[in-house]
Amino acid sequence: MDNAVLKALRSRRSIRRFKPGQISDAELQAVLEAGTWAPTAHGLQDPWIVAVQKPELKERISKLNASVWGREDFDPFYGAPTYVLVFASRPEKTLNGVPDGSLVLGNMMLAAHSIGLGSCWINREREMFETPDGKALMAELGLPEELQSGLMGVGALALGYPAHEAPAPKPRKEAYWRVIK
């Protein structure tokens, strides 16, 4: 069986080099909207999505991520012109925040690929936004003030026009799945 969605699933790869030009507003909106259509537990739509294109803010986010990683000489967003951060409720509020936020990120990565953009999942957002600098940054990102203390970072996307061809896929492992009837 084959269709456009299945082809996109097989061909999407993480992109770690981006062209310097900013993506269009229409492209960004398509990616963000795809995130809003991710399934969420009980239909609560718990995650929050924040796209950042402002250079000074991107630089602070990149430096904070690199600092948490212990790689202060490195841009963990690979020069992407747009960052997309995803937040969700902490586990003490709901056990589904991380899975819900992960589905949002997955939808956005597939949507980006389907319209010719490259993306790469970026980790360490949970650790970033636990720091005093990260908590101050959350306040600047337009998240509702009454929710900020109950939110955690789930992940982020580096998003932009790919500056290289997608890498070849790794072979799938043997016996990856089972069917029991």
DSSP tag of 133? H
According to the model, what pLDDT value does residue 116 have? 97
**pLDDT given at position 27:** 98
pLDDT (0 to 100) of residue 103: 98
Q: In a 3-state reduction of DSSP, which class is residue 1?
A: coil
The CATH number of the domain where 37 resides is what?
A: 3.40.109.10
Low-confidence ranges of the chain (pLDDT < 50): none
On whether residue 6 sits in a domain, the answer given is no
Pairwise CA distance, residues 88 & 25, whole Å: 24
- Write out pLDDT tens, residues 42-69: 999 999 999 999 999 999 999 999 999 9
Does any domain span residue 76?
Answer: yes
Over residues 123-133, the pLDDT tens digits come to 999 999 999 99
pTM of the model: 0.95
Residue 83, token pair as written in the block: 């960052």
Q: Is residue 57 part of a domain?
A: yes
Q: Give CA–CA dist 22/3, Å, rounded.
A: 30
Distance separating alpha carbons of residues 36 and 97, to the nearest angstrom:
14
Q: Residue 103 belongs to what domain range?
A: 21-160
140 lies in a domain?
A: yes
- What pLDDT sits at residue 180? 96
Q: Tell me if 13 is assigned to some domain.
A: no
When divided into structural domains, the chain yields a total of: 1
Residue 100 has what pLDDT?
97
Cβ density class 8-18: b for 16+ within 10 Å, e for less:
eeeebbebbeb
Q: Is 121 helix (H, G, I), strand (E, B) or coil?
A: strand
Assess if residue 174 is contained within a domain: no
Assess if residue 116 is contained within a domain.
Answer: yes
Residue 104 lies in a domain: yes
Burial of 125 (C-beta count, 10 Å sphere; 0-12/13-18/19+): buried
Q: Among residues of the chain, what percentage have pLDDT more than 90?
A: 89
